[in-house]
Chain A
Amino acid sequence: MSTKPKLYYFDGRGKMESIRWLLAAAGVEFEEEFLETRDQYEKLLQGGSLLFQQVPMVEIDGMRMVQTRAILSYIAAKYNLYGKDLKERALIDMYVGGTDDLMGFILMFPFLSAEDKEKQRALIVQKVTSRYFPVYEKVLKDHGQDFLVGNNFSWADVHLLEAILMVEEKKSDVLSGFPQLQAFKARISSIPAIKKFLEPGSQRKPVPDDKYVETVRRVLRMYYDVKAN
Protein backbone atom coordinates (compact mmCIF):
# COMPACT_ATOMS: atom_id res chain seq x y z
CA MET A 1 0.00 0.00 0.00
CA SER A 2 1.26 3.44 -0.93
CA THR A 3 2.09 5.73 1.93
CA LYS A 4 0.65 8.70 0.10
CA PRO A 5 -2.71 9.94 1.33
CA LYS A 6 -5.55 8.80 -0.92
CA LEU A 7 -8.56 10.99 -1.52
CA TYR A 8 -12.00 9.58 -2.35
CA TYR A 9 -14.38 12.09 -3.93
CA PHE A 10 -15.87 13.26 -7.19
CA ASP A 11 -13.61 14.59 -9.90
CA GLY A 12 -14.32 18.16 -8.89
CA ARG A 13 -13.95 20.70 -6.11
CA GLY A 14 -16.81 20.37 -3.65
CA LYS A 15 -15.77 19.71 -0.08
CA MET A 16 -12.53 18.03 -1.06
CA GLU A 17 -10.89 21.03 -2.67
CA SER A 18 -9.74 22.64 0.59
CA ILE A 19 -8.07 19.35 1.46
CA ARG A 20 -6.26 19.25 -1.89
CA TRP A 21 -5.09 22.83 -1.32
CA LEU A 22 -3.77 22.09 2.15
CA LEU A 23 -1.92 18.92 1.18
CA ALA A 24 -0.41 20.72 -1.80
CA ALA A 25 0.61 23.69 0.36
CA ALA A 26 2.28 21.27 2.76
CA GLY A 27 4.17 19.76 -0.18
CA VAL A 28 2.46 16.39 0.27
CA GLU A 29 1.82 14.25 -2.79
CA PHE A 30 -1.49 12.43 -2.83
CA GLU A 31 -3.52 10.00 -4.90
CA GLU A 32 -7.15 10.32 -5.85
CA GLU A 33 -9.99 7.93 -6.59
CA PHE A 34 -12.87 9.63 -8.38
CA LEU A 35 -16.45 8.58 -7.79
CA GLU A 36 -18.22 8.33 -11.11
CA THR A 37 -20.94 5.75 -10.59
CA ARG A 38 -23.50 4.92 -7.96
CA ASP A 39 -22.02 1.41 -7.81
CA GLN A 40 -18.63 2.70 -6.73
CA TYR A 41 -20.25 4.68 -3.95
CA GLU A 42 -22.34 1.75 -2.79
CA LYS A 43 -19.28 -0.44 -2.78
CA LEU A 44 -17.49 2.04 -0.52
CA LEU A 45 -20.55 2.11 1.74
CA GLN A 46 -20.82 -1.66 1.92
CA GLY A 47 -17.10 -1.97 2.56
CA GLY A 48 -17.56 0.16 5.66
CA SER A 49 -15.04 2.79 4.58
CA LEU A 50 -17.32 5.74 5.12
CA LEU A 51 -17.93 6.30 8.80
CA PHE A 52 -21.06 8.41 8.30
CA GLN A 53 -21.80 7.14 4.78
CA GLN A 54 -20.34 10.31 3.28
CA VAL A 55 -17.42 11.61 1.30
CA PRO A 56 -14.88 13.27 1.48
CA MET A 57 -12.89 10.34 2.74
CA VAL A 58 -9.10 10.40 3.02
CA GLU A 59 -6.94 7.38 3.75
CA ILE A 60 -4.00 8.76 5.68
CA ASP A 61 -1.60 7.25 8.21
CA GLY A 62 -3.63 4.07 8.51
CA MET A 63 -6.89 5.92 9.15
CA ARG A 64 -9.95 6.31 6.94
CA MET A 65 -10.74 9.88 7.83
CA VAL A 66 -14.04 11.53 7.09
CA GLN A 67 -15.48 14.95 7.96
CA THR A 68 -13.71 17.72 6.10
CA ARG A 69 -12.86 19.77 9.17
CA ALA A 70 -11.37 16.78 11.00
CA ILE A 71 -9.23 15.93 7.98
CA LEU A 72 -8.01 19.49 7.53
CA SER A 73 -7.17 19.86 11.25
CA TYR A 74 -5.17 16.64 11.17
CA ILE A 75 -3.19 17.69 8.11
CA ALA A 76 -2.59 21.18 9.47
CA ALA A 77 -1.26 19.84 12.76
CA LYS A 78 0.82 17.11 11.19
CA TYR A 79 2.56 19.48 8.80
CA ASN A 80 3.05 22.36 11.25
CA LEU A 81 0.49 24.67 9.68
CA TYR A 82 -1.53 25.10 12.88
CA GLY A 83 0.36 27.73 14.84
CA LYS A 84 2.76 27.27 17.73
CA ASP A 85 0.34 27.15 20.68
CA LEU A 86 -3.32 27.00 21.70
CA LYS A 87 -3.91 30.69 21.19
CA GLU A 88 -2.47 30.74 17.67
CA ARG A 89 -4.53 27.67 16.90
CA ALA A 90 -7.60 29.51 18.21
CA LEU A 91 -6.94 32.40 15.82
CA ILE A 92 -6.39 30.03 12.91
CA ASP A 93 -9.60 28.18 13.76
CA MET A 94 -11.54 31.44 13.87
CA TYR A 95 -10.17 32.68 10.56
CA VAL A 96 -10.72 29.33 8.88
CA GLY A 97 -14.27 29.29 10.27
CA GLY A 98 -14.92 32.56 8.48
CA THR A 99 -13.45 31.49 5.13
CA ASP A 100 -15.31 28.19 5.49
CA ASP A 101 -18.63 30.01 5.90
CA LEU A 102 -17.74 32.21 2.94
CA MET A 103 -16.86 29.25 0.71
CA GLY A 104 -20.05 27.56 1.86
CA PHE A 105 -22.02 30.14 -0.12
CA ILE A 106 -20.07 29.11 -3.21
CA LEU A 107 -20.19 25.37 -2.60
CA MET A 108 -23.87 25.08 -3.45
CA PHE A 109 -23.69 27.56 -6.30
CA PRO A 110 -23.45 25.03 -9.18
CA PHE A 111 -26.57 23.26 -7.93
CA LEU A 112 -28.79 26.33 -8.04
CA SER A 113 -31.24 27.24 -10.75
CA ALA A 114 -30.10 29.92 -13.20
CA GLU A 115 -32.29 32.50 -11.48
CA ASP A 116 -31.05 31.61 -8.00
CA LYS A 117 -27.48 31.70 -9.29
CA GLU A 118 -27.75 35.39 -10.06
CA LYS A 119 -29.20 36.15 -6.63
CA GLN A 120 -26.53 34.04 -4.97
CA ARG A 121 -23.75 35.72 -6.87
CA ALA A 122 -24.95 39.09 -5.58
CA LEU A 123 -25.22 37.68 -2.06
CA ILE A 124 -21.71 36.26 -2.20
CA VAL A 125 -20.26 39.57 -3.30
CA GLN A 126 -22.19 41.44 -0.64
CA LYS A 127 -21.15 39.12 2.19
CA VAL A 128 -17.58 38.95 1.05
CA THR A 129 -17.10 42.68 0.76
CA SER A 130 -19.01 43.66 3.88
CA ARG A 131 -18.37 40.80 6.29
CA TYR A 132 -15.39 38.65 5.42
CA PHE A 133 -12.71 40.44 3.41
CA PRO A 134 -12.66 43.51 5.70
CA VAL A 135 -11.70 41.23 8.61
CA TYR A 136 -8.66 39.75 6.90
CA GLU A 137 -7.70 43.11 5.40
CA LYS A 138 -7.65 44.57 8.92
CA VAL A 139 -5.72 41.66 10.42
CA LEU A 140 -2.98 42.08 7.84
CA LYS A 141 -2.97 45.86 8.13
CA ASP A 142 -2.86 45.85 11.94
CA HIS A 143 0.19 43.58 12.32
CA GLY A 144 1.83 44.35 8.99
CA GLN A 145 3.14 40.80 8.69
CA ASP A 146 3.15 38.54 5.66
CA PHE A 147 0.94 35.85 7.17
CA LEU A 148 -2.32 35.95 9.07
CA VAL A 149 -1.14 34.33 12.31
CA GLY A 150 2.08 34.34 14.27
CA ASN A 151 4.26 35.61 11.45
CA ASN A 152 4.30 32.09 10.07
CA PHE A 153 2.66 30.38 7.09
CA SER A 154 -0.40 28.45 8.28
CA TRP A 155 -3.62 26.74 7.26
CA ALA A 156 -5.39 30.10 7.62
CA ASP A 157 -3.31 31.59 4.80
CA VAL A 158 -3.96 28.66 2.47
CA HIS A 159 -7.68 28.74 3.15
CA LEU A 160 -7.90 32.49 2.62
CA LEU A 161 -6.07 32.31 -0.71
CA GLU A 162 -8.39 29.54 -1.86
CA ALA A 163 -11.40 31.68 -0.86
CA ILE A 164 -10.06 34.78 -2.60
CA LEU A 165 -9.51 32.95 -5.88
CA MET A 166 -12.95 31.36 -5.69
CA VAL A 167 -14.68 34.68 -5.16
CA GLU A 168 -12.67 36.28 -7.96
CA GLU A 169 -14.07 33.63 -10.27
CA LYS A 170 -17.49 35.06 -9.49
CA LYS A 171 -16.44 38.72 -9.62
CA SER A 172 -13.02 39.41 -10.99
CA ASP A 173 -12.48 42.83 -9.39
CA VAL A 174 -13.73 41.90 -5.93
CA LEU A 175 -10.34 42.73 -4.37
CA SER A 176 -10.39 46.28 -5.63
CA GLY A 177 -11.11 47.78 -2.21
CA PHE A 178 -8.61 45.56 -0.41
CA PRO A 179 -4.97 46.46 -1.02
CA GLN A 180 -3.61 44.24 1.77
CA LEU A 181 -5.45 41.24 0.34
CA GLN A 182 -4.10 41.99 -3.12
CA ALA A 183 -0.56 41.94 -1.78
CA PHE A 184 -1.37 38.83 0.29
CA LYS A 185 -2.70 37.06 -2.79
CA ALA A 186 0.46 37.82 -4.76
CA ARG A 187 2.70 36.77 -1.88
CA ILE A 188 1.02 33.49 -1.06
CA SER A 189 0.61 32.55 -4.73
CA SER A 190 4.34 32.78 -5.16
CA ILE A 191 5.18 30.31 -2.39
CA PRO A 192 6.73 27.41 -4.37
CA ALA A 193 4.29 24.68 -3.28
CA ILE A 194 1.31 26.94 -3.96
CA LYS A 195 2.71 28.23 -7.22
CA LYS A 196 3.04 24.63 -8.36
CA PHE A 197 -0.55 23.88 -7.35
CA LEU A 198 -1.76 26.88 -9.35
CA GLU A 199 -0.09 25.67 -12.53
CA PRO A 200 -1.90 23.60 -15.19
CA GLY A 201 -1.50 19.88 -14.66
CA SER A 202 -1.75 20.06 -10.88
CA GLN A 203 -4.48 18.30 -8.94
CA ARG A 204 -6.38 21.52 -8.47
CA LYS A 205 -9.87 21.10 -9.87
CA PRO A 206 -11.62 23.54 -12.25
CA VAL A 207 -14.76 25.54 -11.57
CA PRO A 208 -17.63 23.02 -11.27
CA ASP A 209 -19.69 22.59 -14.44
CA ASP A 210 -22.93 20.83 -15.38
CA LYS A 211 -21.16 17.52 -15.80
CA TYR A 212 -19.89 17.74 -12.22
CA VAL A 213 -23.37 18.55 -10.92
CA GLU A 214 -24.81 15.65 -12.88
CA THR A 215 -22.20 13.26 -11.47
CA VAL A 216 -22.82 14.31 -7.88
CA ARG A 217 -26.58 14.03 -8.30
CA ARG A 218 -26.27 10.62 -9.92
CA VAL A 219 -23.82 9.14 -7.42
CA LEU A 220 -25.56 10.48 -4.34
CA ARG A 221 -29.07 10.24 -5.80
CA MET A 222 -29.39 13.87 -4.79
CA TYR A 223 -32.21 14.90 -7.09
CA TYR A 224 -33.94 17.43 -4.90
CA ASP A 225 -33.77 21.14 -5.64
CA VAL A 226 -31.01 22.94 -3.84
CA LYS A 227 -32.13 26.26 -2.43
CA ALA A 228 -29.94 29.30 -1.99
CA ASN A 229 -29.16 30.53 1.58
Chain B
Amino acid sequence: MSGKPRLTYLNGRGRMEPIRWLLAAAGVEFEEVYLETKEQYDKLIKDGFLLFQQVPLVEIDGMKMVQTRAIMSYIAGKYNLYGKDLKERALIDMYVEGISDLMQMILMFPFSPPDAKEKNLESIKERATNRYFPVFEKVLKQHGQDFLVGNKFSWADVQLMEAILAVEEKVPDVLSGFPKLQVFKTKMSNMPTIKKFLQPGSPRKPPPDAHYVETVLKVFKK
Protein backbone atom coordinates (compact mmCIF):
# COMPACT_ATOMS: atom_id res chain seq x y z
CA MET B 1 0.00 0.00 0.00
CA SER B 2 1.27 3.41 -0.98
CA GLY B 3 2.07 5.88 1.76
CA LYS B 4 0.19 8.59 -0.09
CA PRO B 5 -3.19 9.82 1.11
CA ARG B 6 -6.02 8.41 -0.98
CA LEU B 7 -9.08 10.52 -1.74
CA THR B 8 -12.45 9.01 -2.62
CA TYR B 9 -15.02 11.34 -4.17
CA LEU B 10 -16.61 12.21 -7.46
CA ASN B 11 -14.43 13.41 -10.28
CA GLY B 12 -15.15 17.03 -9.56
CA ARG B 13 -14.78 19.79 -6.97
CA GLY B 14 -17.59 19.54 -4.46
CA ARG B 15 -16.54 19.13 -0.86
CA MET B 16 -13.24 17.49 -1.76
CA GLU B 17 -11.72 20.43 -3.60
CA PRO B 18 -10.55 22.36 -0.50
CA ILE B 19 -8.82 19.16 0.63
CA ARG B 20 -7.04 18.82 -2.73
CA TRP B 21 -5.94 22.46 -2.44
CA LEU B 22 -4.59 21.98 1.06
CA LEU B 23 -2.67 18.79 0.30
CA ALA B 24 -1.26 20.39 -2.85
CA ALA B 25 -0.27 23.54 -0.98
CA ALA B 26 1.49 21.39 1.60
CA GLY B 27 3.37 19.66 -1.24
CA VAL B 28 1.75 16.31 -0.51
CA GLU B 29 1.13 13.92 -3.39
CA PHE B 30 -2.10 11.97 -3.26
CA GLU B 31 -4.13 9.37 -5.12
CA GLU B 32 -7.76 9.60 -6.09
CA VAL B 33 -10.62 7.15 -6.52
CA TYR B 34 -13.58 8.53 -8.43
CA LEU B 35 -17.16 7.54 -7.69
CA GLU B 36 -19.03 7.10 -10.94
CA THR B 37 -21.89 4.76 -10.06
CA LYS B 38 -24.35 4.25 -7.26
CA GLU B 39 -23.11 0.68 -6.96
CA GLN B 40 -19.58 1.84 -6.13
CA TYR B 41 -20.95 4.14 -3.45
CA ASP B 42 -23.26 1.50 -1.99
CA LYS B 43 -20.33 -0.92 -1.83
CA LEU B 44 -18.21 1.57 0.09
CA ILE B 45 -21.00 1.89 2.62
CA LYS B 46 -21.55 -1.85 2.83
CA ASP B 47 -17.83 -2.44 3.35
CA GLY B 48 -17.84 -0.02 6.28
CA PHE B 49 -15.51 2.58 4.81
CA LEU B 50 -17.74 5.58 5.37
CA LEU B 51 -18.30 6.38 9.02
CA PHE B 52 -21.46 8.38 8.38
CA GLN B 53 -22.18 6.87 4.95
CA GLN B 54 -20.82 9.99 3.30
CA VAL B 55 -17.92 11.20 1.21
CA PRO B 56 -15.40 12.88 1.19
CA LEU B 57 -13.30 9.99 2.41
CA VAL B 58 -9.56 10.41 2.85
CA GLU B 59 -7.42 7.43 3.78
CA ILE B 60 -4.41 8.91 5.53
CA ASP B 61 -1.97 7.63 8.12
CA GLY B 62 -3.94 4.43 8.67
CA MET B 63 -7.22 6.30 9.25
CA LYS B 64 -10.34 6.37 7.11
CA MET B 65 -11.18 10.01 7.66
CA VAL B 66 -14.52 11.57 6.86
CA GLN B 67 -16.04 15.01 7.59
CA THR B 68 -14.36 17.69 5.52
CA ARG B 69 -13.41 19.91 8.44
CA ALA B 70 -11.89 17.05 10.41
CA ILE B 71 -9.80 16.06 7.41
CA MET B 72 -8.61 19.60 6.74
CA SER B 73 -7.77 20.23 10.40
CA TYR B 74 -5.71 17.06 10.48
CA ILE B 75 -3.79 17.96 7.33
CA ALA B 76 -3.23 21.54 8.51
CA GLY B 77 -2.00 20.29 11.88
CA LYS B 78 0.26 17.66 10.39
CA TYR B 79 1.90 19.93 7.81
CA ASN B 80 2.34 22.99 10.03
CA LEU B 81 -0.27 25.12 8.33
CA TYR B 82 -2.22 25.76 11.52
CA GLY B 83 -0.35 28.58 13.22
CA LYS B 84 2.09 28.39 16.10
CA ASP B 85 -0.28 28.47 19.08
CA LEU B 86 -3.91 28.34 20.16
CA LYS B 87 -4.62 31.98 19.36
CA GLU B 88 -3.24 31.76 15.84
CA ARG B 89 -5.23 28.58 15.36
CA ALA B 90 -8.34 30.45 16.55
CA LEU B 91 -7.78 33.15 13.92
CA ILE B 92 -7.18 30.57 11.21
CA ASP B 93 -10.32 28.69 12.24
CA MET B 94 -12.41 31.87 12.17
CA TYR B 95 -11.15 32.86 8.74
CA VAL B 96 -11.52 29.36 7.31
CA GLU B 97 -15.05 28.97 8.66
CA GLY B 98 -16.10 32.32 7.21
CA ILE B 99 -14.67 31.45 3.81
CA SER B 100 -16.31 28.06 4.03
CA ASP B 101 -19.72 29.74 4.42
CA LEU B 102 -19.06 31.64 1.18
CA MET B 103 -17.83 28.49 -0.56
CA GLN B 104 -21.00 26.70 0.53
CA MET B 105 -23.00 29.10 -1.65
CA ILE B 106 -20.79 28.25 -4.60
CA LEU B 107 -20.98 24.53 -3.81
CA MET B 108 -24.77 24.57 -3.96
CA PHE B 109 -25.01 26.82 -7.01
CA PRO B 110 -24.93 24.14 -9.75
CA PHE B 111 -27.80 22.38 -8.02
CA SER B 112 -30.12 25.37 -7.85
CA PRO B 113 -33.14 25.33 -10.15
CA PRO B 114 -32.70 27.37 -13.36
CA ASP B 115 -35.08 30.10 -12.23
CA ALA B 116 -33.11 30.63 -9.01
CA LYS B 117 -29.65 30.76 -10.57
CA GLU B 118 -29.60 34.47 -11.26
CA LYS B 119 -30.70 35.31 -7.75
CA ASN B 120 -28.14 32.94 -6.26
CA LEU B 121 -25.39 34.42 -8.36
CA GLU B 122 -26.35 37.88 -7.09
CA SER B 123 -26.19 36.55 -3.51
CA ILE B 124 -22.72 35.14 -4.05
CA LYS B 125 -21.55 38.46 -5.47
CA GLU B 126 -23.20 40.41 -2.66
CA ARG B 127 -21.76 38.26 0.13
CA ALA B 128 -18.30 38.16 -1.35
CA THR B 129 -18.13 41.92 -1.83
CA ASN B 130 -19.98 43.04 1.31
CA ARG B 131 -19.33 40.41 3.92
CA TYR B 132 -16.27 38.29 3.26
CA PHE B 133 -13.70 39.99 1.04
CA PRO B 134 -13.76 43.26 3.02
CA VAL B 135 -12.72 41.32 6.14
CA PHE B 136 -9.62 39.86 4.54
CA GLU B 137 -8.78 43.09 2.73
CA LYS B 138 -8.80 44.78 6.13
CA VAL B 139 -6.76 42.05 7.84
CA LEU B 140 -4.04 42.29 5.19
CA LYS B 141 -4.10 46.10 5.23
CA GLN B 142 -3.85 46.33 9.01
CA HIS B 143 -0.82 44.14 9.51
CA GLY B 144 0.74 44.72 6.10
CA GLN B 145 2.07 41.18 6.01
CA ASP B 146 1.98 38.73 3.13
CA PHE B 147 -0.05 36.10 4.92
CA LEU B 148 -3.29 36.28 6.87
CA VAL B 149 -2.04 34.93 10.20
CA GLY B 150 1.22 35.14 12.09
CA ASN B 151 3.30 36.28 9.14
CA LYS B 152 3.40 32.71 7.95
CA PHE B 153 1.73 30.68 5.21
CA SER B 154 -1.25 28.78 6.64
CA TRP B 155 -4.47 26.94 5.84
CA ALA B 156 -6.29 30.29 5.92
CA ASP B 157 -4.25 31.59 2.98
CA VAL B 158 -4.92 28.47 0.91
CA GLN B 159 -8.64 28.63 1.62
CA LEU B 160 -8.86 32.32 0.77
CA MET B 161 -6.96 31.79 -2.48
CA GLU B 162 -9.33 28.99 -3.49
CA ALA B 163 -12.33 31.18 -2.68
CA ILE B 164 -11.03 34.17 -4.64
CA LEU B 165 -10.54 32.07 -7.76
CA ALA B 166 -13.90 30.34 -7.34
CA VAL B 167 -15.77 33.63 -7.02
CA GLU B 168 -13.85 35.15 -9.93
CA GLU B 169 -15.09 32.33 -12.13
CA LYS B 170 -18.59 33.62 -11.44
CA VAL B 171 -17.89 37.34 -11.01
CA PRO B 172 -14.73 38.14 -12.99
CA ASP B 173 -14.20 41.67 -11.65
CA VAL B 174 -15.00 40.84 -8.04
CA LEU B 175 -11.56 41.92 -6.80
CA SER B 176 -11.79 45.35 -8.37
CA GLY B 177 -12.43 47.05 -5.02
CA PHE B 178 -9.83 45.02 -3.15
CA PRO B 179 -6.25 46.01 -3.95
CA LYS B 180 -4.71 44.01 -1.08
CA LEU B 181 -6.52 40.88 -2.20
CA GLN B 182 -5.24 41.39 -5.73
CA VAL B 183 -1.69 41.48 -4.40
CA PHE B 184 -2.42 38.48 -2.18
CA LYS B 185 -3.76 36.53 -5.14
CA THR B 186 -0.61 37.21 -7.15
CA LYS B 187 1.66 36.25 -4.25
CA MET B 188 -0.20 33.01 -3.64
CA SER B 189 -0.17 32.16 -7.34
CA ASN B 190 3.60 32.37 -7.29
CA MET B 191 4.18 30.09 -4.34
CA PRO B 192 5.77 26.98 -5.86
CA THR B 193 3.28 24.38 -4.63
CA ILE B 194 0.29 26.53 -5.52
CA LYS B 195 1.75 27.51 -8.86
CA LYS B 196 2.11 23.82 -9.67
CA PHE B 197 -1.47 23.12 -8.60
CA LEU B 198 -2.72 25.89 -10.89
CA GLN B 199 -1.06 24.37 -13.93
CA PRO B 200 -2.87 22.06 -16.36
CA GLY B 201 -2.46 18.40 -15.49
CA SER B 202 -2.63 18.99 -11.73
CA PRO B 203 -5.28 17.27 -9.55
CA ARG B 204 -7.26 20.53 -9.51
CA LYS B 205 -10.76 19.95 -10.84
CA PRO B 206 -12.58 22.19 -13.34
CA PRO B 207 -15.76 24.13 -12.49
CA PRO B 208 -18.76 21.80 -12.12
CA ASP B 209 -20.68 21.20 -15.35
CA ALA B 210 -23.93 19.44 -16.24
CA HIS B 211 -22.21 16.06 -16.36
CA TYR B 212 -20.89 16.53 -12.84
CA VAL B 213 -24.33 17.49 -11.52
CA GLU B 214 -25.83 14.49 -13.26
CA THR B 215 -23.23 12.17 -11.71
CA VAL B 216 -23.85 13.55 -8.22
CA LEU B 217 -27.58 13.03 -8.52
CA LYS B 218 -27.08 9.52 -9.88
CA VAL B 219 -24.53 8.33 -7.32
CA PHE B 220 -26.37 9.71 -4.30
CA LYS B 221 -29.87 8.84 -5.45
CA LYS B 222 -31.88 7.39 -2.58
Contact = CB atoms under 8 A, between A and B. Distances in A.
Nearest to B77: A86
B187 interface: no
B52 A101 contact: yes
A41 B98 CA distance: 19
Interface string A62-97: 010111111001100110000000110110011011
Main secondary structure on chain A at its contact with chain B? helix
A87 B63 contact: yes
A94 B70 contact: yes
Contacts of B96: 70
Given A66-B94, A77-B86, A90 B73 contact: yes
Contacts of A70: 90, 93-94, 96-97
A86 B131 contact: no
Contacts of B143: none
B52 A135 contact: yes
Interface residues of A, number: 28
Contacts of A67: 93-94, 97-98
A12 to B, nearest CB: 21
18 contacts: A51-B98, A52-B131, A65-B90, A66-B94, A67-B98, A73-B89, A77-B89, A86-B77, A87-B61, A87-B63, A89-B74, A94-B51, A94-B65, A96-B70, A98-B51, A98-B67, A132-B52, A135-B51
Interface of B: 51-53, 61, 63, 65-70, 73-74, 77-78, 86-87, 89-90, 93-94, 96-98, 101, 131-132, 135
In the A-B complex, the 6 residue pairs with the closest CB atoms: A97-B67, A93-B70, A70-B93, A67-B97, A94-B70, A70-B94
Interface of A: 51-53, 61, 63, 65-70, 73-74, 77-78, 86-87, 89-90, 93-94, 96-98, 101, 131-132, 135
